[in-house]
């Protein structure tokens, strides 16, 4: 415990004495963490958008003209009981016609010459969010298509699959970029701590000769790295908060379309950033102080 307090004291003194190099290290690490968190947020949101849009598009199932009340009711029951389906809405031939008339508005007069209603009855269904990947939707479509009374199915397949690909690519990109940034941060803190270690090598040699344990020698460096990482994490969290605030509260004044994006940014990110910063920079410093030999 006393060793810990002494190491803490040494680490804090060194933080101050080497404030410029520490400041630059914190800045570099914070930049890395900020880039990483921005990309993670983008990827997270892209994923959410894909799911939201897909569920809003849902799927339209057109019924055979010959389908009678019982068929309609049977399908309705089946869809309602399907655990994967979130919502079911039946649109009868008449309702479909009304919708069309409403859509056409004053141009609806062209419909006056149509004697028999040519529009099919349909079901609009939407899926539970968690199930929405394009493979799953394809499978489900094939199953529904085989049901009797169903003629055709329309859904945003192209959209869905290309969006899923974009989202998957983003995720892969974030993982690659993330690993690169983590390695870069490890390297940056490794370098900084190595420099400190090198500058204090004669002091360390003396400490060894006086009987200091490895922990006693290493701890100040490790603590300093943890402070650097944490400070960088806090800095990047503050920057992220600022950017988020700007995008949600200020940017819509110039770019109203932005307000349509409902940005998801879990608050836990602000906690993860300092912790991740500390952990990664601890790793770098741990490698830097290396194995101490007497």
Q: Does 201 bind other proteins (CB under 8 A)?
A: no
Q: Does 213 bind other proteins (CB under 8 A)?
A: yes
Nearer to other proteins, 155 or 216 (CB): 216
| Residue among 206, 242, 246, 262 that touches other proteins (CB under 8 A) | 206
Residue with tokens 């912790």: 275
Residues 110-169 touching other proteins, rule: CB under 8 A, are none
Give least dist CB 202 to other proteins, A: 8
Nearer to other proteins, 94 or 215 (CB): 215
Asked if 59 and 128 touch (Cβ cutoff 8 Å), the reply is no
Nearer to other proteins, 254 or 294 (CB): 294
Residues 214-243 touching other proteins, rule: CB under 8 A, are 214, 216
Give least dist CB 203 to other proteins, A: 5
| Residue among 110, 135, 209, 268 that touches other proteins (CB under 8 A) | 209
Q: Does 16 bind other proteins (CB under 8 A)?
A: no
| Residue among 107, 211, 267, 268 that touches other proteins (CB under 8 A) | 211
Nearer to other proteins, 2 or 146 (CB): 2
Nearer to other proteins, 1 or 267 (CB): 1
SS3 labels along the chain: CHHHHHHHHHHHHHHHHCHHHHHHHHHHHHHHHHHHHHHHHHHHHHHHHHHHHHHHHCEEEEECCCCCHHHHHHHHHHHHHCCCEEEEEEECHHHHHHHHHHHHHHHHHHHHHCCCCCCCCEEEEEECHHHCCHHHHHHHHHHHHCCCCEEEEEECHHHHHHHHHHHHHHHHHHHHHHHHHHHHHHHHHHHHHHHHHHHCHHHHHHHHHHCCCHHHHHHHHHHHHHHHHHHHHHHHHHHHHHHHHHHHHHHHHHCHHHHHCCCCCCCCHHHHHHHHHHHHHHHHHHHHHCCCCC
Beta bridge partners of 122: 62, 91
Give least dist CB 16 to other proteins, A: 13
Give Dmax over CA atoms of the chain in angstroms.
105
| Residue among 100, 156, 207, 251 that touches other proteins (CB under 8 A) | 207
Q: Does 208 bind other proteins (CB under 8 A)?
A: yes
Give least dist CB 209 to other proteins, A: 6
Q: Which stretch binds other proteins (CB under 8 A): 85-93, 177-185, 190-198, 200-208?
A: 200-208
Q: Rounded to an integer, what distance in angstroms lies between the CA atom of residue 87 and that of residue 159?
A: 20
Give least dist CB 291 to other proteins, A: 9
Size of site (CB under 8 A) for other proteins? 18
Name the residues that contact other proteins, by CB under 8 A.
2-3, 6, 202-203, 205-214, 216, 293-294
């Amino acid at each position: 415990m006393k060793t810990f307090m002494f190491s803490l004291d040494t680490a804090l003194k060194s933080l101050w004495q080497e404030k410029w190099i520490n400041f630059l290290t914190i800045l570099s690490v914070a930049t890395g963490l900020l880039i990483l968190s921005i990309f993670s947020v983008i990827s997270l949101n892209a994923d959410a958008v894909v799911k939201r849009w897909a569920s809003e598009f849902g799927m339209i199932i057109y019924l055979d003209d010959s389908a009678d009340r019982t068929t309609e009711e049977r399908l309705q029951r089946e869809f309602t009981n399907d655990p994967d389906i979130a919502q079911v809405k039946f649109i009868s031939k008449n309702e479909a016609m009304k919708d069309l008339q409403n859509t056409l508005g004053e141009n609806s007069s062209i419909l006056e010459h149509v004697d028999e209603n040519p529009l099919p009855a349909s079901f609009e269904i939407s899926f539970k969010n968690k199930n929405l990947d394009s493979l799953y939707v394809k499978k489900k479509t094939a199953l529904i298509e085989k049901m009797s009374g169903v003629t055709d199915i329309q859904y945003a397949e192209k959209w869905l699959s290309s969006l899923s690909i974009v989202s998957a690519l983003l995720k892969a990109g974030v993982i690659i970029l993330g690993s690169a940034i983590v390695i870069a941060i490890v390297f940056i803190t490794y370098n900084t701590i190595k420099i400190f270690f090198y500058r204090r090598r004669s002091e360390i040699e003396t400490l060894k000769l006086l009987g200091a344990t490895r922990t006693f020698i290493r701890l100040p460096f490790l603590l300093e790295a943890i402070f650097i990482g944490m400070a960088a994490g806090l800095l990047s969290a503050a920057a992220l908060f600022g950017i988020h605030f700007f995008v949600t509260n200020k940017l819509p004044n110039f770019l109203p379309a932005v307000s349509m994006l409902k940005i998801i940014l879990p608050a836990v990110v602000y906690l993860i950033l300092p912790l991740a910063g500390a952990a990664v920079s601890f790793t770098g410093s741990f490698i830097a102080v290396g194995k101490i030999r007497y």
